[in-house]
Amino acid sequence: MRGLYIHIPFCKSKCSYCNFYSFVPDNNQRDSYLNAVLSCIEKWSEKNLSFDTVYFGGGTPSFFGGERIAAILKKSRACFEISPKAQITVECNPSSVDEKLFRELSSAGVNRISMGMQSSVSKERKALSRFSEKEEIETAVKLAKENGISDISIDLMLGIPFQTTESLNESLDFLFSLNITHVSAYMLKIEEGTPLSENTNAFVFPDEDSVCDMYLHTISRLSEKGFFQYEISNFSKPGFESRHNLKYWLCEEYLGIGPSAHSFLFGKRFFYKNNFQSFLSGEEPVFDEEGGSEEEYIMLRLRLNRGLSQKDFKKRFQKSFSPGMISLAKDFSEKGFMSFDGETMKLTSEGFLISNYIISKLIEE
């Protein structure tokens, strides 16, 4: 089954580190966008697609409003086959949620919330220009649960300005107190062109070694509390993985709707341009390349804790691992960056930290 992604390119304000396609909308842009999404869904309806995950990402979908999201879901159900057990996630910002929103989402069938917290330490959040208060996060989680959405993921960031192991512990403790099901813990990457990248001198960043230590520390603390790592940056209680995101890493197909949204459908990768006006005018997506190559598959599967298995690889590509790959994997295993039992290659935590290096070596073979 495939996944459906809906991009909501609106935010109340831009965060300093973010390079996703989003902007602060004026009055009627949200409504005109809703119409554009609805007609885009309509266009795809003839393909008879069925989905078992739906994901509203952004931007800030919560800022788009529960009614509009409900309308998109309704249209999707009319035009596609959405499985009754589908995991339907909406990304939320604590600063743009209220009781009404969760009520609307819940009754529209949304059953999972992903919320950006990044840090529970106010100074650290402010450095990322996130202005909601810690208490608002607590309230948001509580409201979601009260309205029947109990599958909740919280984003945590590592390597942000001012962060130390102590302050990270504070964030982790706060996170545990929320009693949630899923955590995404990303190491901050300073993206070119973001306000943060032009302002790096204004802050003290933890050095690379500290960030690595924080990452390892986070893995171990999360696992103590029953959050198992299933991907480089993702952790969940058993059975609460993000099924939508797993499709990306398992090299499965998905349709993405909205400016800057990418798709992998019928073996092809394509995307809608990150241009609001051209999306409104119904411009067709741009072809990117054939998807699902060996390289892609290796790259994505090795991000997962379950790793890359010989069996799956053979099934997909009708061939075994190359001797070069196997000898590299053995070499990485000896150095403690990987485990390889002859059947499955899995990166260790240290291995995840240098996964670009390892993966680029492996796909060379």
Partner 1 sequence: MAKNKENIRNFSIIAHIDHGKSTLADRLLELTDSVAKRDMTSQLLDDMDLERERGITIKAHAVKLDYKADDGEIYELNLIDTPGHVDFNYEVSRSLAACEGAVLIIDASQGIEAQTLANTYLALDHDLELVPVINKIDLPAADPERVAAEVEDVIGLDCSVAPRVSAKTGENVHQVLERIVADVPPPEAEDNAPLRALIFDSVYDNYKGVIVYVRVVEGTLKAGEMMKMMATGAEFNVVEVGYMRATGLEPCDVLSAGEVGYITASIKTVRDAKVGDTVTKTQWAAEEALPGYRKVNPMVFCGVYPADGADYEALRDALEKLQLNDASLTYEPETSGALGFGFRCGFLGLLHLEIIQERLEREYNLDLVTTVPSVVYKIHLRDGSIVEVDNPTHYPDVAEIEFSEEPVTNAHIYSPPDYVGAIMDLCQDRRGVFKDMTYISKDRVDIHYELPLNEIIYDFFDVLKSRTRGYASFDYEISEYRRSSLVKLDVLLNGDIIDALSFIIHTDKAMARARRIAERLKENIPRQMFEIPIQIAIGSKVIARETVKAMRKDVLAKCYGGDITRKKKLLEKQKEGKKRMRQFGSVEVPQEAFMAVLKLEEN
Binding residues among 314-353 for partner 1 as defined by CB under 8 A: 335, 337, 352-353
Retrieve residue 317's tokens.
Answer: 């590509």
- CA-based Rg of the chain, rounded to a whole angstrom? 21
Cβ atoms < 10 Å from Cβ of 348: 15
Report phi then psi at 13, rounded to 5: -155, 160
190 touches partner 1 by CB under 8 A: no
Q: From the list 33, 63, 248, 279, which residue makes contact with partner 1 (rule: CB under 8 A)?
A: 248
- For residues 98, 100, 101 and 107, what is the CA-based torsion angle, rounded to 10 degrees? 150
359 touches partner 1 by CB under 8 A: yes
Q: From the list 296, 310, 312, 333, which residue makes contact with partner 1 (rule: CB under 8 A)?
A: 296
Q: From the list 119, 218, 229, 245, which residue makes contact with partner 1 (rule: CB under 8 A)?
A: 245
| Distance of closest approach, residue 3 Cβ to partner 1, in angstroms | 9
Q: Give how far Cα 135 sits from Cα of 94, 96, 121, 124, 215, Å.
A: 9, 13, 11, 15, 25
Binding residues among 202-241 for partner 1 as defined by CB under 8 A: 208-209, 211-212, 232-233
Q: Give how far Cα 334 sits from Cα of 289, 303, 323, 338, 340, Å.
A: 36, 19, 17, 8, 9
In this chain, which stretch among 59-67, 96-104, 283-291, 307-315 interacts with partner 1, using CB under 8 A? 283-291
Please give the biggest Cα pair distance in the chain.
60
Q: From the list 128, 300, 325, 345, which residue makes contact with partner 1 (rule: CB under 8 A)?
A: 300
In this chain, which stretch among 95-103, 142-150, 168-176, 256-264 interacts with partner 1, using CB under 8 A? 256-264
Distance CA 60, CA 292 (A): 29
| Distance of closest approach, residue 326 Cβ to partner 1, in angstroms | 18
Comparing CB distances to partner 1, the nearer of 101 and 168 is: 168
Type of residue numbered 30: R
Retrieve residue 31's tokens.
Answer: 């409504």
146 touches partner 1 by CB under 8 A: no
Applying CB under 8 A, which residues contact partner 1? Answer: 5, 57, 186-189, 208-209, 211-212, 232-233, 245, 248-249, 254, 256, 260-262, 264, 269, 271, 288-289, 291, 295-296, 299-300, 303, 335, 337, 352-357, 359-361, 363-364
